[in-house]
């Protein structure tokens, strides 16, 4: 859905109304242009911001020479619409709830970014506001990834907040992920004379037994507890109903706390599966929560809630790869993301706006 006239975003309206306006500009991944244009236009009206653009990613920053620079980022795209646009509301006052695609993931966060950007001309920390495209699709398309590759100086800073939905809590860092294939050899034979072969699938039982017995760590990193996991995510073997199979492959996914490097993770898996042929097929590092940084500590203090660990892999890792500690913080229950009934209490949007503004002005 595109229109010839770009919608205008009025950043003077309240954050919930702005969230609705942003959600109602459909921007499924690959179709962010219209919303990106509107965001760029609105930001260019704020004289205290330098505005940069790469594709459908917009970067706007203050240049006040503050001692610290913080980055506040959010993506403009959503998963496909499921008859849940335009947005609608239920209830009123403190019970007001906003329904529709993007209300959770993550246009509430984007609205808060824009509201605070528009109302904080002299933040106590220099701020870089990042709005990017293609977060909900393959990682190589990711707009934040493109910025970190092509314009790392645009997204540089001392600490970053990614406004993904966390229900208003700070979720620090993220776990790393590694995938391996364990190949179990055998000797083929006709199944009528099974004793002349060696069954690779039967032997795979030893791998599965180790997986069953594996005691996943709970690891405290900078005050947050990460819960690791080691899961078979695939198994295949066998070529015909009368052949003892000479090959079985078990695919395993390891999610590891950010105190481990990718190299540590591989060494650990080779230890767990000693005696088996292990090939690493995919890996991405975790990200430290960075909560020992002064800007992070100040941020957590404003929120007044205990931070917690982030389990999934998120774009905070892209900041981490640049050496920038990063956390997730935003309105909306993350378990409602991508659901057809995605909805957010208005109060979470207002609270998020209050926190960001207080952090940047205190």
> Which residues ranging from 288 to 327 are in contact with a copy of itself (CB under 8 A)?
311-313
> Which residues ranging from 35 to 64 are in contact with a copy of itself (CB under 8 A)?
none
Residue of 32, 77, 158, 171 with catalytic role: 77
95 binds a copy of itself (CB under 8 A): no
243 binds a copy of itself (CB under 8 A): yes
Eight-class DSSP state of 109? H
Candidate segments 10-18, 67-75, 234-242, 290-298, binder of a copy of itself by CB under 8 A = 234-242
Backbone region of residue 187 per phi and psi (left: phi > 0; alpha: psi in -120 to 50; beta: other values): beta
Token digits of residue 308: 């917690």
Q: How many residues does the chain have?
A: 362
Dist CA 33 CA 77 (whole Å) = 10
21, 10 Cβ separation under 8 angstroms: yes
Torsion of the alpha carbons at 151, 299, 306 and 18, rounded to the nearest 10: -80
Paired strand residues for 198: 187
Dist CA 42 CA 59 (whole Å) = 12
> Which residues ranging from 170 to 199 are in contact with a copy of itself (CB under 8 A)?
175, 177, 179, 190-195, 199
344, 335 Cβ separation under 8 angstroms: no
Is 45 catalytic? The answer is no
Among 201, 219, 284, 321, interactor with a copy of itself by CB under 8 A: 201
Residue of 32, 133, 135, 246 with catalytic role: 135
Is 135 catalytic? The answer is yes
137 binds a copy of itself (CB under 8 A): no
237 binds a copy of itself (CB under 8 A): yes
User: Which residues are catalytic, by number?
Assistant: 77, 135
Q: Give residues in contact with a copy of itself (CB under 8 A).
A: 175, 177, 179, 190-195, 199, 201-205, 207-209, 211-212, 216, 227, 229-238, 240-245, 248, 250-251, 253, 255, 282, 311-313
């Amino acid at each position: 859905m595109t229109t010839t006239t770009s919608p205008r975003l009025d950043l003077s309206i309240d954050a919930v109304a702005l969230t609705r306006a942003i959600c109602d500009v459909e921007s499924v991944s690959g179709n962010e242009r219209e919303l990106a244009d509107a965001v760029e236009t609105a930001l260019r009206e704020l004289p205290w911001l330098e505005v940069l653009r790469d594709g459908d990613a917009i970067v706007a920053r203050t240049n006040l020479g503050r001692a610290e620079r913080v980055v506040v980022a959010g993506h403009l795209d959503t998963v496909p619409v499921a008859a849940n646009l335009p947005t609608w509301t239920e209830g009123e006052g403190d019970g007001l709830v906003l329904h529709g695609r993007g209300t959770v993931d993550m246009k509430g966060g984007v609205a808060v970014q824009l509201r605070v950007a528009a109302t904080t001309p002299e933040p106590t920390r220099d701020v870089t506001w990042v709005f990017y495209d293609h977060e909900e699709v393959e990682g190589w398309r990711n707009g934040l990834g493109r910025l970190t590759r092509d314009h790392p100086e645009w997204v540089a800073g001392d600490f970053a907040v990614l406004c993904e939905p966390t229900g208003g809590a700070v979720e620090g860092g993220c776990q790393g992920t590694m995938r391996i294939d364990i190949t179990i050899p055998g000797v083929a034979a006709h199944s009528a004379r099974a004793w002349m072969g060696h069954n690779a699938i039967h032997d795979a039982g030893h791998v599965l037994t180790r997986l069953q017995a594996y005691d996943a760590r709970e690891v405290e990193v900078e005050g947050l507890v990460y819960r690791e996991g080691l899961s078979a995510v695939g198994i295949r073997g066998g070529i015909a109903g009368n052949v003892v199979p000479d090959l079985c492959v078990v695919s395993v996914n390891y999610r590891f706390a950010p105190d481990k490097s990718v190299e540590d993770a591989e060494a650990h898996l080779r230890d767990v599966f000693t005696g088996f042929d292990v090939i690493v097929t995919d890996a991405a590092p975790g990200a430290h929560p960075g909560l020992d940084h002064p800007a992070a500590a100040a941020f957590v203090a404003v929120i007044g809630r205990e931070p917690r660990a982030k389990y999934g892999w998120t774009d905070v890792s892209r900041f981490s790869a640049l050496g920038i500690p990063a956390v997730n913080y935003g309105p909306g229950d993350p378990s409602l993301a991508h659901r057809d009934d995605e909805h957010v209490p208005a109060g979470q949007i207002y609270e998020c706006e209050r926190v960001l503004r207080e952090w940047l002005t205190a």
